[in-house]
């Protein structure tokens, strides 16, 4: 069976990026697990997305049959990004922690794919996600400090935010492959990568 993987990358650090190294490992494992794997890459550092304009936001909230030419044109990029998400069986997101949250490049992607009427809607009982169930998400998370325990735990607005917003649109099956404490020297990086490797092997074994 063929699997389509959407890979969203956000670190500008190229070969020095920890999250990119982790994503590359996830993709390699997936390629090994599934004979036919088609990878669609969105590198938000080489092809950054624009922040939402007034025209685009206006188009989001205009019923499709009432949109004018300019609004239809303004929605093309967001529609393309949402279509990529619908087409993906697995999503791999490289997510460094920046200032306790995510890089603004990744936030811009989220602003384009969290779409009322396409990926969520408000029903009689509140918000409902519109992405079909069954998609798997791997988030390759890298951070200089340690946030899984200790005094800095409350400052994690990176993983907690991603889990919340992805769940909101229907992506509930989220696995974090995490290297943390990478600012604490070479040994710390080595240990963090080994821990992440263990998380990855375990997670890959668990998926069908």
Ligand X SMILES: Cc1cc2nc3c(=O)[nH]c(=O)nc-3n(C[C@H](O)[C@H](O)[C@H](O)COP(=O)(O)O)c2cc1C
The residue within the footprint of ligand X, chosen from 108, 182, 196, 200 (CB under 6 A), is 182
Quick check: 13 binds ligand X (CB under 6 A)? Answer: yes
Alpha carbons 37 and 5: distance in angstroms, whole number: 7
Q: How far is C-alpha 23 from the geometric centre of its chain's CA atoms?
A: 11
Site string for ligand X, 100-139 (x = CB under 6 A): x---------------------------------------
Rg (CA), the chain: 18
Alpha carbons 80 and 61: distance in angstroms, whole number: 17
Calculate helix-pair angle for 76-87, 104-113, nearest 10 degrees. Answer: 90
Alpha carbons 84 and 76: distance in angstroms, whole number: 12
Quick check: 188 binds ligand X (CB under 6 A)? Answer: no
Alpha carbons 166 and 194: distance in angstroms, whole number: 27
Min dist CB 30 to ligand X, Å, is 19
Quick check: 11 binds ligand X (CB under 6 A)? Answer: yes
Task: Give 11 or 175: the residue with its C-beta nearer to ligand X.
Answer: 11
The residue within the footprint of ligand X, chosen from 17, 56, 105, 175 (CB under 6 A), is 17
Min dist CB 140 to ligand X, Å, is 8
Looking only at residues 58 through 97 of this chain, which bind ligand X when binding is defined by CB under 6 A? 96-97
Pick from 166, 164, 172, 82: which is nearest to 134 by CA?
172
Task: Give 56 or 175: the residue with its C-beta nearer to ligand X.
Answer: 175
**Chain positions contacting ligand X, by CB under 6 A:** 11, 13, 17-20, 96-100, 142-145, 182-183
């Amino acid at each position: 069976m063929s699997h389509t993987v959407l890979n969203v990358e956000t670190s500008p650090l190229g070969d020095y990026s920890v999250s990119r190294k982790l994503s590359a490992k996830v993709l390699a494992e997936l390629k090994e697990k599934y004979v036919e794997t088609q990878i669609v890459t969105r590198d938000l550092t080489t092809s950054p997305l624009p922040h939402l304009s007034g025209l685009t936001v206006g188009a989001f909230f205009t019923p499709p049959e009432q949109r004018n030419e300019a609004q239809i044109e303004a929605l093309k990029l967001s529609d393309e990004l949402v279509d990529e998400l619908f087409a993906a069986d697995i999503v791999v997101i490289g997510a460094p922690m920046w200032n306790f949250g995510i890089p603004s490049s990744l936030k811009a992607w989220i602003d384009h794919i969290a779409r009322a009427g396409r990926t969520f809607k408000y029903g009689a009982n509140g918000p409902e996600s519109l992405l079909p169930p069954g998609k798997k998400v791997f988030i390759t998370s890298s951070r200089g400090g340690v946030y899984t325990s200790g005094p800095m735990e409350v400052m994690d607005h990176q993983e907690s935010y991603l889990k919340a917003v992805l769940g909101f649109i229907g992506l509930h099956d989220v696995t974090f492959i995490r290297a943390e404490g990478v600012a604490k020297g070479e040994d710390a990086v080595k240990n963090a990568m080994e821990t992440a490797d263990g998380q990855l092997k375990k997670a890959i074994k668990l998926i069908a």
